[in-house]
């Protein structure tokens, strides 16, 4: 046992000496946060898959293995996406309690803002049901303030994301214009209070948007399964309408359990051809940023056991998309990886250390650096906690 320890110690001494000399020759900087463009990265976090909410909106009995605290650093907006069927409110309440007392404060500490999704149809129909088709300004104001409190304010969140996937007629558009104009007094850029009002859509139907675009902080465009060609068409459409391209976010998705759609936005065998890479690159160069839906399904596939089960993620793709969207230089990502490797050195062998060090050195993009530590299989990863942005922000 003593002999083994001595050999291990000597091995570490040789490796450490070599690394020290290499660092003396060419020091690495990790000041990426001060030098990279200020792009926005948003995620849709499905609340019914948080470990604090079990048995809600699902028939899958697997336990939810992760929490909002596991989300990567570098996320700017968290859309707390939640649907609670009638009769399941008690099961959902522990999550919302934790959202208010634990999750929101921690995400705020990291610099992120949190919003709740509001379906466009529900927003307009709810007003009609309560006040009819000709509400007064005071009635709309009361309605809006109640919405903001119920969805966001009571949980200590930062705003609302209006989800538009409909083609409303002129009558509904006239009502929604009035709602959004009123909501914009309390949320978004015109409120000037740091809150967010986001418009989220999967098409180019401008009628519900064109009269009120100035009230929105960002527009998120769902282009699941599509590459930069569709992103460019979206950019042209909305900038021609007058919305700034630096407030546009392009959105992709991970495979949801039980979903019959096939988007294939990730491809670990051809990363450079994947939508996740090409859209992140386009967003960095042309838009305000990007977002991903069902972030808790990062790394999952449309095959079994993923299709019918809930599994813990390493967030390998999200971490990569954050780095690429925000434009972190490869040398700084590698510097963060080297530093993290030194931190976990006591838990691995000298031979494995040398191998991982060599893989970092040979990596040609952010995905390859992340893949040194992570696979999409959480249990097969060397260290799924590696987070280059966190490493850069928190330092040694």
Query: What CA–CA distance (Å, rounded) separates 82 from 56?
Result: 10
Q: Exposed, middle or buried, 355 (CB in 10 Å: 0-12/13-18/19+)?
A: middle
End-to-end CA distance of the chain: 32
How far CA 96 is from CA of 61, 80, 123, 161, in Å, comes to: 21, 10, 21, 18
How far CA 253 is from CA of 3, 22, 128, 154, 321, in Å, comes to: 52, 40, 33, 29, 12
* Closest listed residue to residue 181, CA positions, set 149, 152, 213, 206: 213
- Listing DSSP states for 86-111 in one string gives TT-HHHHHHHHHHIIIIIHHHHHHTT
How far CA 59 is from CA of 56, 308, 310, in Å, comes to: 8, 10, 11
Is 139 catalytic? The answer is: no
* DSSP 8-state secondary structure symbol assigned to residue 64: P
> Please, which residues have CB within 8 angstroms of residue 133's CB and are 6 or more apart in sequence?
171, 175
Which structure tokens are listed for 384? 């799924």
* Closest listed residue to residue 213, CA positions, set 237, 241, 236, 174: 241
Pairing of strands 248-253, 159-164: unpaired
Query: What CA–CA distance (Å, rounded) separates 125 from 330?
Result: 49
Q: Which of 89, 106, 150, 165 is catalytic?
A: 165
Tell me the HSE value of 213 on the side-chain side, using a 13 A CA sphere: 19
Q: Is the Cβ–Cβ distance between 313 and 300 less than 8 Å?
A: yes
Query: What CA–CA distance (Å, rounded) separates 139 from 309?
Result: 45
* DSSP 8-state secondary structure symbol assigned to residue 273: G
Which structure tokens are listed for 75? 């996320």
Catalytic residues: 165
């Amino acid at each position: 046992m003593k002999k083994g320890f001595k050999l291990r110690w000597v091995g570490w001494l040789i490796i450490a000496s070599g690394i020290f000399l290499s660092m003396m020759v060419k020091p690495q900087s990790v000041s990426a946060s001060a030098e990279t463009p200020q792009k926005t990265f948003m995620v849709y976090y499905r609340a019914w898959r948080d470990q604090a909410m079990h048995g809600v909106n699902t028939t899958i009995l697997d336990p939810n293995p992760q929490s909002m605290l596991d989300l990567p650093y570098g996320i700017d907006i968290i859309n707390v996406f939640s649907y609670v069927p009638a009769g399941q409110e008690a099961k959902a309440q522990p999550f919302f309690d934790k959202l208010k007392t634990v999750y929101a404060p921690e995400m705020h500490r990291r610099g992120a803002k949190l919003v709740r999704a509001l379906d466009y149809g529900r927003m307009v129909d709810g007003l009609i049901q309560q006040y009819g088709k000709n509400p007064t300004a005071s009635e709309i104001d009361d309605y809006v303030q109640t919405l903001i409190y119920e969805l966001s304010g009571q949980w200590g969140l930062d705003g609302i994301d209006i989800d538009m996937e409909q083609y409303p007629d002129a009558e509904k558009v006239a009502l929604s214009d009035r709602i959004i104009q009123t909501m914009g007094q309390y949320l978004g850029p015109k409120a000037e209070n740091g809150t967010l009002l986001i418009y989220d859509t999967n098409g180019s139907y401008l009628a519900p948007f064109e009269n009120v675009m100035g009230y929105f902080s960002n527009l998120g465009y769902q282009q699941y399964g599509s590459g930069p060609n569709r992103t460019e068409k979206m950019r042209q459409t909305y900038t021609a309408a007058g919305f700034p391209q630096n407030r546009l976010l392009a959105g992709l998705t991970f495979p949801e359990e039980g979903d019959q759609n096939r988007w294939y936005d990730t491809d670990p065998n051809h990363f450079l051809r994947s939508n996740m890479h090409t859209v992140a690159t386009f967003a960095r160069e042309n838009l305000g940023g990007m977002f991903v839906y069902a972030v808790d399904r990062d790394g999952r596939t449309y095959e079994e056991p993923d299709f019918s089960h809930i599994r813990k993620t390493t967030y390998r793709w999200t971490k990569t998309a954050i780095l690429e969207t925000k434009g972190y230089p490869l040398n700084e990502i590698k510097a963060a990886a080297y530093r993290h490797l030194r931190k976990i050195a006591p838990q691995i062998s000298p031979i494995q250390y040398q191998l991982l060090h060599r893989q970092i050195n040979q990596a040609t993009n952010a995905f390859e650096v992340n893949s040194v530590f992570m696979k999409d299989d959480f249990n097969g990863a060397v260290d799924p906690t590696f987070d280059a942005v966190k490493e850069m922000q928190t330092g040694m």
